[in-house]
Amino acid sequence: MDGIKYEVFTGKSIRLLENNQYTSNVESGSTRTEIKHWIELFFGVKVIAMNSHRLPGKGGRRGRGPITGHTMHYRRMIITLQPGYSILTLIQKRT
């Protein structure tokens, strides 16, 4: 599970939970087949589709001087599971 960083909870990702789709950020060097394999082994579910896109890093100043920098880019995966399968999320743990 080193490739999966954390789950994403935005307005769109919460709407996608109704369609049995889960959103998470993964390492940019991970392949789709690796991510699918990790999710199926760790959570014991069946993945039927995966969509991904690469989000750019954010730039900005560091400190008071003219030094600028940026954060690393990352990939976001939207994973669709077969009907009948689900992944326990933080939203479900609260209720």
Domain extents in the chain: 4-94
Mean of pLDDT values over 25-50: 88
Q: Which pLDDT does position 46 carry in this prediction? A: 93
d(C-alpha 19, C-alpha 71), whole Å? 32
Its CATH class, for the domain covering 4-94, is alpha beta
Confidence tier at 94 by pLDDT (50, 70, 90): very low
* Residue 87, token pair as written in the block: 């992944």
* Residue 74, token pair as written in the block: 């990352």
**pTM (2 decimals)?**
0.74
Contacts of 65 (CB under 8 A, 6+ apart): none
pLDDT over 70 at 69, yes or no? yes
Mean of pLDDT values over 2-15: 84
Q: How many other CB atoms sit within 10 Å of the CB of residue 79?
A: 25
Provide the 8-state DSSP code for 83.
T
